[in-house]
Structure formats: C-alpha cells, structure tokens
Structure 1
Amino acid sequence: MQHSLERELEVASIAVQYCAHLTNQLQQQTLSPESSIKKWDHSPVTIGDFAVQALLTTAIRSEFKNDNFLAEESADELRENAALLDQVWDLVKTFRPSFPSNHVPSSKADLLDAIDQGGRGDSSNEGRTWIFDPIDGTATFMRGQQYAINCALVIDGREEIGIIGCPNLPIDSGTVHENNVDNGGLGLMIFAIRNQGTWVRPMQVDANLAPATRVPRHGDQTAMDQLIWTDCSTYTSTIQHLQQQVAAKLGTSWPGVDLYSSIVKYAALGLGRASVCIRIFKFASWRSNSWDHAGGILIFEEAGGKVTDLDGKAIDFGHGRKMSENHGLVCAPTSVHAEVLRVVQDVLKAYGSIPWSR
C-alpha cells in the first residue's frame, strides 16, 4: 500500500497499538475511585484517558514537530489533583520501556504539556491537525466491555487518515457486542487513508504491525433490506423514539448493534457489521465533538459508506472542537443513503420543530 502519508500512518498506528496494550492491561485491573473523575458533563475520565492522550501526542509530535493537535482531555484536573497526576505518571512510567525512548513524556511537566497541547487545541481548518479520543467509551471501558482509541489526521479541515484501535473487538467475529471480548488477543485496528480504501489488522504487543487486509467496499452494493442499525439504547442525548420510527420504516430492528462508544460504531460500520447510524439530537443547538467522528467517517466512507448531517450536508471538520456546521448524523451505505436520508427527513417533518435548547 503506497501513498504520500505512509510515514504518518505508520507512526500513528504503532502509537495506537502501544496504547491499546496499555489500556488492555489497565482494564484488567480494578480501577479505584481515585483513578477516575467525573467531568462537567458527568462523563467519566480515567488515568488511562490522560496517559493515552499524552502518549499519542508525544509519539506523533516527536516525528512531526510542526503539526497541531486537538483532543478531548485537558490537564486541568491533573494540575489540581496531585494524587491523580501521580497515578497517571506511574502508569506512563510502567509502560515506558515498551515505547521508543523519544515517544514518551520525560517528566510530569512534559506529560501535562502533551495533554494540554491537544486539550487546548481549538483550530483545524488550516494545516495538519491530529485529532484524538484517547478512550472513547470510558464508561464501557471501566466495565470491561468495548471501547476504542481514535486517531485522525485532518489536513486543511478534511480527514486524510483515520485509525481506530479496538482492543476488545475480535477480528474474526461476524458482529460486534459489548460483551464479546477478545480474551486471546489484542483486538483489531481498522484504518483508512483517503482514496486508499479501508484496511484491518490484528493488533500485537510490540512495535511491529501485523499485515493488513483490505475491507471490501461493501457499501456500494448494500440493499435496503440488508440494513443493520447501530445505536445505543441508553443514550439520553438523542430523540430515540424518532430514531426508532426511522428504523421501523427502513425495516430494520432498533437498536440493532447496541454499542455505547461512537467510535466503536464506526469500526462496526467500516467492517460491515452494521450499516446505518442515525443521530437526532434532542435540541437543535447541539453539535457533536470532532473527536467522536473524525477518522471514523473516513473509514466508513472508504468502505463504501456515506455520511451527512440531517440536512444532507457533508461533515466539515474545519471548525475545531465542535462540528459546528453540522447538526445530527446520517450514516448509511452509498447505495441507499439518499433513500435513508429521505426517510429521516420525512420523520422529522412529521414530528415538527425540535427545540433550540433546554
């Protein structure tokens, strides 16, 4: 596989694989209450989230010194909580021998700086910006279920590389389930480069990347009666009864492949283990976080999928931390996206206006 971003793909893929090993080992431990916190939106963040963000940033920054970073976490909590910072630093030090020497923070100050380089990043419309979600699905990660490490390279606001590491997702399974965990390996990595297709490989516990296999472009031939929905039955941010109506009109069951992590959903879509994902937010003002979608959309589209917002507009990653120009989400195979979008818009029209805010 030859392309102009070969070195970027290699460096980022190895970093994701190292971090998959770290999180896999951490997940097998019992995280104490002191190892996690609740953020302002009540979502959890663990020492693993902080460690992975620092390691991904440091590894990629060591090779591409002029690139920008945008990621979910900031180091504010660590600066205010010395005990939590000590746990993150101890975790990084434990895995330091496994990483190339220049790919790990050299001190606590370096660790905090690496986290904040992405956590305080807010621009993605010019130049090269790496977008990370260090552990997407932290709640399910803490329960020993599915989660993902997400890494994307956006150039001038457009996805060019997408890498998703799923340490618990068996590579040979025909479906995706929270509790169907790869206990004998390190799961899989699914990745894409624009115009180079979608690829998948098993992850390994070293610096070597296993050979990759190209995923067929399944989204070009999918028929309406073959659609498999993927959603989360416990989400509180979406109007679920409208999404259920859309699923019923499409003749597919809801929630279908029931997954908490947005990024694991994209892995399922890319692999062809699901084919439709719709997001209708409760409030018209709500916008998605870039790290919950960047890279994942490219992976699905390179496998024959198409992703737009509820108005049919292409997704724009040129506005920093939020997808501010896009409301909601319609992911479907290219072969049927127009019909799926029509059904969604018909359901929305019958429902009436969605309130702007709370």
Structure 2
Amino acid sequence: MPSKFQAELDVACAAVQHCAVLTKRLQRETVRQDDQVKKSDFSPVTVGDFAAQALLTSATHGAFKDDKFLAEESADELRQNDALLESVWQLTQELQPAFEKSSPALVTPASKQEVYDLIDLGGKNEVSNDGRMWVFDPIDGTATFLRGQQFAINCAFLIDGVEQIGIIGCPNVILDSDSVHEDQVDKDLGCMIFAIRGEGTWVRPMRSDGVLAEAKKIDRHGEKVKIDDLIWSDCSTYTSTIQHLHQQVASKLYTPFPGVDLFSSLMKYAALGLGRCHIVMRIFKYSSWRSNMWDHAGGVLIFEEAGGKVTDLNGKSIDFTQGRKMAANYGLVCAPSSVHAEVLKTIQETLKAYEDTNGPIPYSK
C-alpha cells in the first residue's frame, strides 16, 4: 500500500542515494590523499557538503515548488571562493545524468547562480514552524568522514514543525551486521533507514545504479527491550558533554560505556532505529547549549517509529518549531519506550546528585 507521502518519499530517497554515491567517492579520495584538513578549508568534505546540499535541495524543490527548506550550510563561503564554487558546480554537473535518469526524474542546478540560490534556501532560513519544510544535513560526521569512517546524509520532511518523513543515508553501514562500528565500513554503498509518521521504520540497501532497492520494515523493537538488555551509544571523544555523568548513568544501568562509539549524531539515530543500540543521551556542559535542528530532525521519528521514545532531560518532547536551534529543549534522552521512564529517572537522579554537590550546571562559558 503506498504511503500517504509516497511522492515525497520517492524523490527524497532517490536524491539521498545519489548523494551517497557522490560523498562516498569523495571520502575515498580524501582518505587516499591522507588529507586531515579542517572543514573551513577548501577540502573534499567542504565540496561534498555544498554539492550534496545543492543537489538535495534542487531535487525536492524541483518536485515541490512551494516547499520551504532549512539546512546546515549557507552559500557565503562559495560567494567568496570562485575555485570552490567551480568544484561544487562540476560535481553537480557530473551527477546530473544520474539524477535525470532517476524514477522519478530529479532536477539538478541549472547554473552557478542557482547553486547559490538553492543552498541559501535552507542555509539562510531561520523559521521551522510554517508549512511544508525539508531539513538537510548533507554530511554529518565531518571528522569521521575524513578518516574513512562512518558518516550520514540526513533528509527530513516536516509540516508545521512536526516530522513526517525521516531519511538517513549511511553509506558505510554494513546492513547485515549486528552492530555499527566506525572502522567496519561497507565495501558497497551501505544502507538507508527511513520512517514515515504512523507507517513505521524501514531499511533498504543503497545501490550505485540509482534504483531504489526493496525496503524491509523494521520491527517495533523499542516496545520490547528490557532494562537488563540495554546497549549504550556515545562518543568517547566528545568535549561538549559531561562525560563522567554519562558514565555514571551507564554504570547504574549496567551497560558498558561508551558502548557503540559513534561520532555522528545521525549515525546514532540510525543505530537506534536499526536496534543496534538503545540509549543515547546528552548532558551538555553548559545549560545554555542547544542542539542544531538538522542533527535530530528525522532521526527522532526514525527511532520513535521503531518503538523508541525521545525527550529532553526534563522529559519534554522534542520541539522542532524553534528554528535552527532546538531552543525549547536542553539535553537529550533516547531510550526504548518500554524503559524510557526508568532511564529518564536514573539520569535525573544522577544529575540532581551532581548539582547538589557542585551547584547548577553553568549557563555559559
């Protein structure tokens, strides 16, 4: 039975898969060069970010002319760097034949000026609560991308700030594995995990020929997990969170830390949706810190449609109506719905004990 958003899903899944081909090729070139450059430099990851965002926006804008966009990158850097623009433009042109042969056929940028305009449709937008909107993170996990490890392509579709579709392309995830590891990289094109509100979470292998493989529905595993079965997922190199509190909570729940050790936020949501981990949390070092919307929109839906539950540290549902930052939510608690209340209580008790001894988490630096 077709989805209520079948047209949107077909366009977005095809565009994500094509961008997976592009970004994986760029990643291989980066690793061969052994080029540990920063994102602000003229590097393959920078080119990939801009090109993928332009292509994702062009495909969805071409199909749904009146829709709005919100995305990580703006075209400001491109406007100041002709060589960078030329590289981005050439990549979009190289992908044009694949996009045009897709079913449905996808639109690509028609000029360098259009590359600017398409990127800025999302990169300059500050509003997320008005009508039909696409949210993109073209390459999530820059640091691990540069090392040849896991990264994600995120595409979410919202109506009035409510997630309706979530798609995470994972070009390096091994579909038939029972875990996700930074250094266990698929030789082909990995997989795509996606969800439609009220219709479940699905997964399919990605293909380099542009054909969308048959998707398999994922069991609502988050409704069945017991407290003794929990698998944690964190990042051992994060500097934005209070890691020793994360470790304390993991210890109280009798699960190893960091567990499934992943850098990318969206890779964690993919692992949650696939059932390869069960808990992701964030206690930020400063109470003023808020997450970027594009790191979570779509991913939350993917986990919830697989039986998970996602709140902030106060137990509030995640609010995507606040613009580029998730201004209404401090911190994060992702856990199976069967045990979320118990996990949240453990986190809150751990945080309260810390603040009773050390005082409230500071507002900012």
2:34 & 2:133 partners in 1: Cα distance?
34
Match of 1:174 among 171, 175, 178: 178
SS of corresponding position for 1:131: strand
Contact 1:36 1:47 in 2 (8 A): no
- State the partner residue of 1:317: 320
SS of corresponding position for 2:168: strand
For 1:55, the aligned partner's letter is: L
Equivalenced residue count is: 354
Contact 1:152 1:295 in 2 (8 A): yes
- State the partner residue of 1:222: 225
2:174 & 2:21 partners in 1: Cα distance?
15
Contact 1:133 1:149 in 2 (8 A): yes
Moved over 2 A (4+): 30-40
Match of 1:123 among 94, 115, 127: 127
- State the partner residue of 1:77: 77
**Unpaired runs of 5+ in structure 2?**
none
Contact 1:35 1:47 in 2 (8 A): no
- After superposition, the Cα gap between the structure-2 partners of 1:35 and 1:228, relative to the gap in structure 1 and judged at 3 Å, is closer
For 1:51, the aligned partner's letter is: A
**Superposition CA RMSD, Å:** 1.7
- What pairs with 1:136-147 in structure 2 (closer than 5 Å)? 136-147=140-151
- State the partner residue of 1:94: 94
Contact 1:35 1:46 in 2 (8 A): no
Match of 1:194 among 169, 192, 197: 197
Match of 1:106 among 110, 116, 130: 110
- What pairs with 1:23-62 in structure 2 (closer than 5 Å)? 23-30=23-30, 38-39=39-40, 46-62=46-62
**What are the Cα deviations for residues 286-332 of structure 1, in whole angstroms up to 9, with x where unaligned?**
00000000000000000000000000000000111010000000000
For 1:4, the aligned partner's letter is: K
Contact 2:39 2:142 in 1 (8 A): no
SS of corresponding position for 2:335: strand
SS of corresponding position for 1:65: coil
Instruction: Using the TM superposition, give the Cα deviation of residue 98 of structure 1 relative to its aligned residue in structure 2, in angstroms.
Output: 1.4
Instruction: Using the TM superposition, give the Cα deviation of residue 161 of structure 1 relative to its aligned residue in structure 2, in angstroms.
Output: 0.3
TM-score normalised by structure 1 residue count: 0.96
SS of corresponding position for 2:29: coil
Instruction: Using the TM superposition, give the Cα deviation of residue 207 of structure 1 relative to its aligned residue in structure 2, in angstroms.
Output: 3.1
- After superposition, the Cα gap between the structure-2 partners of 1:247 and 1:102, relative to the gap in structure 1 and judged at 3 Å, is closer
- After superposition, the Cα gap between the structure-2 partners of 1:267 and 1:102, relative to the gap in structure 1 and judged at 3 Å, is closer
Instruction: Using the TM superposition, give the Cα deviation of residue 272 of structure 1 relative to its aligned residue in structure 2, in angstroms.
Output: 0.2
2:238 & 2:21 partners in 1: Cα distance?
28
* Identity fraction in percent: 63
The answer as to 2:17 corresponding to 1:17 is yes
For 1:192, the aligned partner's letter is: A
Instruction: Using the TM superposition, give the Cα deviation of residue 35 of structure 1 relative to its aligned residue in structure 2, in angstroms.
Output: 11
Instruction: Using the TM superposition, give the Cα deviation of residue 82 of structure 1 relative to its aligned residue in structure 2, in angstroms.
Output: 1.2
Instruction: Using the TM superposition, give the Cα deviation of residue 253 of structure 1 relative to its aligned residue in structure 2, in angstroms.
Output: 0.5
SS of corresponding position for 1:29: helix
2:143 & 2:75 partners in 1: Cα distance?
20
